Structure 1
Amino acid sequence: MKVLVVGATGGSGRAAVAELVARGHDVTALSRHASTLPDVRGVDGDATDAALVDALVQGQDAVVVALGISESAVRVRLRGPSGTPLDIRSRGTRTVLAAMRRHGVRRVVVQTSYGTGPSSQGLPLATRLMFGLLLRPQIADTERQGAELRASGLDWVEVQPVNLTDEPWSGPPATATDGQVASMRVSRAQVGWVLAQAVQDQDLVRRTVAVSAGAPVPTAVSG
């Protein structure tokens, strides 16, 4: 398949690119420094650039969106991000979805965050406090992102990881479509695996998938 990855040099995006390439897909990568990625067509640019996104979406079979802000959460909360728009998740995703509808590209996989949208009731108290105090503006934007995705009319998959880590690959993570999680951490490498898996897994279309490290819960998505 021809797959466009938007947000391709963040931790999860980079892992998704590597997994897609390993699976034999033809990958185009978009981010501010995508030209540094090996084995793909890397395009340096902005996910909110409608003309650029439109040109890259045309001819793709699927799109993976892994947008986020890589700066310190404390800095972003106190002073705002220095190099990335605070609404990059929702605005970039909106730009991608519009281009997909124009070009008839149906399959889109978007990384949001566990604890937003359908999984909003599943958070432990400590994480709720962190969301409310430290991450409030970013979580609000992620809520908008997920809502636009679920209302898009496309063949969407929403991937919701719990707290992200940089731990090395330790095997496929636990995945569930009912909001259950096996732990409150998961590595970016594991999230990238799920993003790549969701590109072709027909059982996940129009489902929200919670992703966590640990043994799969009984209702976990197989495959």
Structure 2
Amino acid sequence: MTILVVGASGATGQHLIAHLLKQGHTVRAVVRSAERLPESIRNDGNLFIIEASILEISDTEMVEHVAGCDAVASCLGHNLTFKGMYGKPRRLVTDAARRLCAAIKVNKPEKRIKYVLMNTTGNRNRDLDEPISFAERCVIALLRLLLPPHVDNEKAADYLRTELGQNNPIIQWSAVRPDSLINESEVTEYEVYPSPTRSPIFNAGKVSRINVGHFMAALIDNDDLWQKWKGQMPVIYSKMSS
């Protein structure tokens, strides 16, 4: 398969690319600078690097980049700096999802394309009756006011849920929700649930970035796993924190 990965040079995106390449897939990676990718990945013959800022790519170029792809994966996120959180673009993840999906539709692919989005447990799946306490509601309301990236994550998932929906003839999607991200060097056991099993605000679990990349790659590679989680927002925890 051929997969386009955006946010490819980020901490999770690099793991996702490594897993996809290990599975034997062809990867097109959108990065601002190729130098941000580890040399072991950068020199892989199945990796094709597109040096660009995702929202600065023209509509025509976007159509070309997704042409022939079987899946698109987004590991986009905002840098944890003042400029990254409060500067432009405020809707990086959402706008990228809209433009990428629009480009996919222009190509009129013969089979449905997978769109895998990295999201967050701080965002509820409104298709499900996920319980939330009054205290959690208050904290999330503050996050919406004070942290634009949180709103971006919510709107990106809402775009997939409400505008693409469950029966889109061209695009199928899954929004992966990791809890608190940590760094590990090896894939470990992890667990995946339809909804959080603990409070993401007051009792957050942990999951390694390499595990998230592994699960996202598995969704793309394994059709049985995809059938289980398509149109859903699976929550992932490393098993040690379950």
TM-score relative to the length of structure 2: 0.76
Alignment match, 1:171: 188
Displacement after TM superposition at 1:86 (Å): 2.2
Contact preservation (8 Å) 1:160, 1:209:
yes
Aligned with residue 210 of structure 2, among 160, 183, 189: 189
Alignment match, 1:211: 236
Larger mean CA deviation between 46-55 and 21-30 belongs to 46-55
Alignment match, 1:4: 4
For 2:131 and 2:138, the matched residues in 1 are separated by 10
Alignment match, 2:95: 91
Alignment match, 1:61: 70
Unmatched 5+ residue regions in structure 1?
218-223
Alignment match, 1:220: none
Displacement after TM superposition at 1:69 (Å): 1.4
Alignment match, 2:172: 155
Aligned with residue 113 of structure 2, among 90, 98, 106: 106
Contact preservation (8 Å) 2:205, 2:241:
no
The residue identity in structure 2 corresponding to 1:38 is N
For 1:22 and 1:6, the matched residues in 2 are separated by 18
Displacement after TM superposition at 1:136 (Å): 2.6
Cα deviation per residue 1:13-67 (whole Å; 9 max; x = unaligned)? 1110001111111111112124643321111112222333221100111111111
Larger mean CA deviation between 139-148 and 179-188 belongs to 179-188
The residue identity in structure 2 corresponding to 1:2 is T
Cα deviation per residue 1:124-175 (whole Å; 9 max; x = unaligned)? 9689738834963111111110011123122111101111112332513211
For 1:170 and 1:135, the matched residues in 2 are separated by 34
**CA 1:121–1:15 in 2, change beyond 3 Å: closer, same or farther?**
farther
Alignment match, 2:152: 141
The residue identity in structure 1 corresponding to 2:180 is N
The residue identity in structure 2 corresponding to 1:192 is G
Unmatched 5+ residue regions in structure 2?
none
**CA 1:117–1:51 in 2, change beyond 3 Å: closer, same or farther?**
farther
For 2:138 and 2:217, the matched residues in 1 are separated by 29
Task: Look up the SS of the partner of 1:117 in the other structure.
Answer: coil
Cα deviation per residue 1:164-210 (whole Å; 9 max; x = unaligned)? 11233251321112333595211111111111011133322112110
Larger mean CA deviation between 6-15 and 206-215 belongs to 206-215
Bigger CA radius of gyration: 2
**How do residues 109-124 of structure 1 correspond to structure 2 at under 5 angstroms?**
109-118=116-125, 121=131
TM-score relative to the length of structure 1: 0.82
Alignment match, 2:13: 13
After TM superposition, which residue ranges in structure 1, 4 or more long, deviate above 3 angstroms?
74-77, 119-131
Displacement after TM superposition at 1:12 (Å): 1.1
Displacement after TM superposition at 1:75 (Å): 5.6
For 2:133 and 2:68, the matched residues in 1 are separated by 39
Task: Look up the SS of the partner of 1:189 in the other structure.
Answer: helix
Task: Look up the SS of the partner of 1:68 in the other structure.
Answer: coil
Task: Look up the SS of the partner of 1:118 in the other structure.
Answer: coil
State the percentage of identical aligned residues: 24
